């Protein structure tokens, strides 16, 4: 038997994991994205107001956007 293991690592993965921990809590939308993702797909979704949040493992605060619905 051969057992394969795969892992995804890096800053983007860490940020996505941290955002999944705050999304859907404290009245937030169930999907939150960084400003980089927002800028890449801005015209395809309806967005809530941006919010500055502290993300563990990063310096300062990160601007994140709640995704409200797809257009």
Q: What are the extents of the domains in the chain?
A: 32-71
Q: pLDDT tens across 17-45, in order?
A: 999 999 999 999 999 999 999 999 999 99
Give the whole-angstrom CA distance, residue 44 versus residue 53.
23
Whether 1 shows a pLDDT value over 80: the answer reads no
Give the pLDDT confidence score for residue 68 in this predicted structure: 98
Q: Are 63 and 50 in contact (CB under 8 A)?
A: yes
- For the chain, percent of residues with pLDDT exceeding 90: 75
| Whether residue 4 has pLDDT greater than 80 | no
How high is the pLDDT of residue 3? Answer: 79
Q: How many CB atoms lie within 10 A of CB 38?
A: 18
Alpha-carbon distance of 46 to 56, in angstroms, equals 27
């Amino acid at each position: 038997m051969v057992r394969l293991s795969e892992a995804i690592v890096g800053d983007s993965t860490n940020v996505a994991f941290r955002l999944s921990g705050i999304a859907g809590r404290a009245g937030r939308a169930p999907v939150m994205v960084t400003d980089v993702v927002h800028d890449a797909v801005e015209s395809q979704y309806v967005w809530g107001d941006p919010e500055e949040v502290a993300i563990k493992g990063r310096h300062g605060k990160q601007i994140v956007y709640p995704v409200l619905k797809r257009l």
